[in-house]
Structure 1
Amino acid sequence: MNVLHVHSDYPDGRNSLSTPAVKLLLDATSGITHTVFVIHRTPWPWQVKVIQNNARLYSIYYWGLPFGLALTLSLFLARRLLLNLIQKHSINYQLVHGHKLAIDGTLGATLAKRAKVPYFLSVRGGTDVRILRHKLLLRRRWKRVLEEAEHIFWVSAWAQIPITQLLKSSVNNDTDKSSLLPNLCEMKQLSHLHVPKEAANFVTVFRFEQYERKGIMPLLEAIAKLIANYPDIKLDIYGCGPESKMKIVQDKISALSIGKHVTIKGRIDNKELQEKLTEYSAFLLPSQNESFGMVFVEALFSGLPILYHANTGIDGYLEGIDAAVKVYNQNTDELVEKVEALILQHDLFNARINRALGTNLLDIFEKRTVVSHYQCLIDDLNLECPNVK
């Protein structure tokens, strides 16, 4: 079987901010051929083009304006570009997978309809929810894309409620038609954990160009307030990014006079990350507008309780896993309260994360679990549809 993927965030070497999650998943499957259309929006008509990276990977630059302006026209032109590409290269496919609802999924649904094949749909909350909220006239179309999918993967578990409400769809009630599909984590759950002695020894990891939506500034202000009662509090910051952005964060640290408590550690190799994380007591990142947030899973796998933001990122996956605290905004006072809870209840949260690791509560994030679920759905489709090979 050849599965045609339409994805705007696939690592084709042309977008430094793309994530490897989908590539890791596809590479881990067996007996399946994957052809990937990586779509890039450009506002400049003369930059519209198709680049064939190899026999199974194409980078497609389609015309589109920022902020979703003239989105209907943009989708029409992108669809025509993709259909011409398929015809020119005689690409045959038996299943389509669109990896976001609003753009990738809409285009994927069209390609599936033209070839008279089924399609899978992934829903990632950050971009999808934002677009759906602002484009009222396209909601009927997106509802059809959602409801006609062979299977819906909720990568953002929290997005099920807002998206089905916005589209007035009951598809969320059909458990056979939809399931959770977390981004694939390459880390393994640790079985023997080092328990730090310091209850207020915190860590965070993020790209500095995204420092605003990551909630770093209010988090630094919260740390500054907590110093009076917890003079030994520490926060180490790992990550890379433009020097100008790193300087903004460092200037904030200096302005708050918390340089003895907060340290920018800089870039860390992902192979070293898990070992380093075990040195800390908890992971803090009140990030907004996250589709998933793999770093939260990496922290949990390393035995760290986490602080995260509601209705974004990993929210919705942690039912029954009580090794986390949730904030509902990036308000400094709320952050102070929740970080202090991690300090005062350090032993309790340590016991909870160890129990989660020891009782398979985190297995949903394991690579083998994610790959097996995805592979089985495709294999089952193969059996149900004799013409799909």
Structure 2
Amino acid sequence: MGYNILFISHLYPHKEDPAEGAVIHRQALALRARGHQVTIIAPRPISPRPLTLLSDKWARIYRIPRSYTWEGIEVHSPRYLTLPRKLLSSTRGTYMSRSIEKLLKRVTKKTYDLIHVHHGYPDGTAALDLGAKMKTPVATTFRGSDIDITLHQDEAHSRHILHVCRQSDALITPSPQLRKKLLDYEGYDSVHIGNGIYPEDRYTGEPERKPGPVILSVSRLLTQKGLDKNILALKELAPRYPEITYEIIGDGPARHIHKELVKSEGLEKHVRFLGTLPKAEVMKAMASATVFSLPSEQETFGLVYLEAMIHGTPAICCAGQGVDGIIKEKETGMLVESGDTAALVSALDFLLSNPDLAREIGNRGRETVMQNYTWERIGEQLEDLYETIIAKRPPGS
């Protein structure tokens, strides 16, 4: 018998931004595939008409329907009052809770086995208010913004986050690093349930072979993503690997900065800016690359690493970020310290000069992803956790 689950998340896909909260939607799809009913409440701040004329952000929010269906999942977007950050922004959880409560009474009129809220604040405080009134257990997923920003914003926000930690029936963190940060801060342990990928999306054709090794990055082009470190590392590697190529898929505001760096270092013949590509072409590039390198300094998770790993391509990430813990040094990938170009050169050179070892690392990485980080597996992990929570505190108790 399937559960009736209520998701609460202020981020969820919609026509204005199909990528917003996409991993949360995929969790909902994974649960539905296992026979559970999932209803989404994606609260949005009230967007007064005058603001929509002054800001694209507020205009987009205004155009989001109050109720809609996204790939067969029922979504409701009640509006709630939000005050400017300097004027009691820590009250957002209270206003969000009121708007959701009104919606539940007016529209859904369902009973739920469990509330799964996908952000510690303000969503978490709203979910706990509702859970107490509905006598329904609450599982809270903490995101990077909760732990790295909101928790340290000021005393009021810190108090809200710690309240959610204490009162939730279970805490979930999407990466091993976030789990460690939460544990180190106040001793709150959590269940690590990551994001996933669809194995059927991987490229299964013949990889494209190039004359020399190919380093690949797939990312929005932002300064914190570490692409400049790859470019500087390439300068050191090019004399040893004359036909080496660095391919960059993606676009963003730092594109011109990276292109200028490539030009100033005389690396134009080695670097290809490919822009945004269709998913199938990205997967083919993942399968064809020698190494995937994204030494990002700010990464909550990073699905692109998993997408590279599922193709057997060894991946490099920064220690303490995103998939550190999934990527284990010289076991399922390579770890480098943030900003350490010399360490990055060493890691790249190790993989390029030891193709047999690189292949073994890539194969172990692929096994790790297939065993633990497909959306089917994520659905199983969520179901197991829900079952444990509900057994301890059944709805209505």
Identical aligned residues as a percent:
20
Q: How does 1:70-149 map to 2 (within 5 A)?
A: 70-94=88-112, 95-149=114-168
How far 1:299 moved relative to its partner?
A: 0.4
Find the aligned partners of 1:237 and 1:69 in 2 and give their Cα distance: 42
Which digits, 9 at most, give the CA deviation of each residue in 1:208-228, with x for residues without a partner? 3xx222112232222223323
Confirm or deny that 1:220 pairs with 2:231. yes
Q: Which segments of 5 or more consecutive residues in structure 1 lack a partner in the other structure?
A: 173-177
Q: Bigger shift: 135-144 or 145-154?
A: 135-144
Q: How does 1:183-332 map to 2 (within 5 A)?
A: 183-188=195-200, 200-208=213-221, 211-241=222-252, 245-319=254-328, 322-332=331-341
Confirm or deny that 1:162 pairs with 2:168. no
Q: If the length of structure 2 is used for normalisation, what is the TM-score?
A: 0.82
Letter in 2 for 1:100: H
The answer (yes or no) to whether the contact 2:203–2:311 under 8 Å persists in 1 is yes
How far 1:73 moved relative to its partner?
A: 2.3
Q: Bigger shift: 319-328 or 116-125?
A: 319-328
Letter in 1 for 2:172: F
Change (3 A) 1:17 1:67: farther
Change (3 A) 1:160 1:66: farther
How far 1:102 moved relative to its partner?
A: 2.8
Aligned-residue Cα RMSD (Å) equals: 3.2
Residue 13 of structure 1 aligns with which residue?
15
How far 1:325 moved relative to its partner?
A: 1.4
The answer (yes or no) to whether the contact 1:323–1:349 under 8 Å persists in 2 is no
Partner residue of 2:363 out of 329, 354, 358: 354
Residue 350 of structure 2 aligns with which residue?
341
Change (3 A) 1:156 1:124: farther
Count, aligned residues: 376
Residue 175 of structure 1 aligns with which residue?
none
How far 1:108 moved relative to its partner?
A: 1.8
Confirm or deny that 1:37 pairs with 2:41. yes
Letter in 2 for 1:186: Y
Q: Which segments of 5 or more consecutive residues in structure 2 lack a partner in the other structure?
A: 52-57
Find the aligned partners of 2:362 and 2:267 in 1 and give their Cα distance: 29
How far 1:283 moved relative to its partner?
A: 0.3
**Secondary structure, aligned partner of 1:101:** coil
Change (3 A) 1:61 1:369: same
How far 1:379 moved relative to its partner?
A: 4.5
The answer (yes or no) to whether the contact 2:124–2:164 under 8 Å persists in 1 is yes
**Secondary structure, aligned partner of 2:172:** strand
How far 1:132 moved relative to its partner?
A: 0.9
Change (3 A) 1:97 1:329: same
Find the aligned partners of 2:374 and 2:230 in 1 and give their Cα distance: 30
Change (3 A) 1:73 1:367: closer
Q: Bigger shift: 97-106 or 38-47?
A: 38-47
Residue 385 of structure 2 aligns with which residue?
377
How far 1:290 moved relative to its partner?
A: 1.9
**Secondary structure, aligned partner of 1:219:** helix
The answer (yes or no) to whether the contact 2:212–2:241 under 8 Å persists in 1 is no
Which digits, 9 at most, give the CA deviation of each residue in 1:50-77, with x for residues without a partner? 7222492123454546778733122232
**Secondary structure, aligned partner of 1:263:** strand
Q: Bigger shift: 126-135 or 62-71?
A: 62-71
**Secondary structure, aligned partner of 2:8:** strand
